[in-house]
Amino acid sequence: MSDDPIKIGVSNKEGQLGFLFTRGGLREGAGRKGIGVTKKVSLTLPDELWDKLERHCTDHGQSRSEAIRHILETFYSS
């Protein structure tokens, strides 16, 4: 464990909080790169389809978002 003190600061991006150390800190371009625009969607499906989706996610080590994104990409690529 480092003895560097931790500070909490506001990044330049959307007012998100971040941890600032005595060395380094928030940098433009740091972090996970985005793959697109995030939009919240409510989806109603029968229990049977939710169960199939959950099994698929578990079997393939995917999140629901990844699985649904793959389904949509496959559908629209043809």
68-78 residue pLDDT tens: 999 999 999 97
Above pLDDT 70, what percent of the chain? 64
Q: Where are the domains of the chain?
A: 40-78
In terms of Cα–Cα distance, which of 24, 27, 36 is closest to 68?
A: 36
Of residues 38 and 58, the one with the higher pLDDT is: 58
Handedness of CA 37, 42, 44, 48 (dihedral sign): positive
pLDDT in tens, 21-45: 556 555 677 777 788 888 999 999 9
Q: What is the pLDDT of residue 2?
A: 59
CATH 1.10.1220 applies to domain 40-78? yes
CB 18 within 8 A of CB 10: yes
- For the record, the structure tokens of 10 come out as 């506001």
9-27 residues labelled b (16+ CB within 10 A) or e (exposed): eebeeeeeeeebeeeeeee
* pLDDT value at 55 more than 70: yes
- What mean pLDDT do residues 49-55 have? 97
CA distance 37 to 12: 19
